[in-house]
Amino acid sequence: MKDYEHPFFRPLWRRIAIVAGCAVWAALEFYGGSSTWGLIALAFAAYGAWQFFYLYKPADETTPPHGETPDK
């Protein structure tokens, strides 16, 4: 998740799905009695929420994605 501004993460539903998936994984680990893995998955969810909702700045739609040249 280092490159949180990657075009893959532009749709909001993908960012929500990743964070929710980590939270569900944490809940399943806690339910199964594995608190260590639950804490690790919960940390992933917290880090994802921080990256995808707090720090995320949507790219300007008029500029081309990183590495592409504009059409003339």
Count of other CB atoms within 10 angstroms of residue 53? 12
pTM value > 0.75? no
pLDDT digits (tens, 9 = 90+) for 37-61: 999 999 999 999 998 888 777 666 5
Strand, helix or coil at 65? coil
For the chain, the structural domain boundaries read 10-54
Please report the pLDDT score of residue 6 as a whole number. Answer: 78
Alpha-carbon distance of 13 to 66, in angstroms, equals 21
Please report the pLDDT score of residue 47 as a whole number. Answer: 93
The DSSP string of 3-45 is -TTSGGG-SHHHHHHHHHHHHHHHHHHHHTT-HHHHHHHHHHH
pLDDT digits (tens, 9 = 90+) for 1-14: 467 677 888 888 99
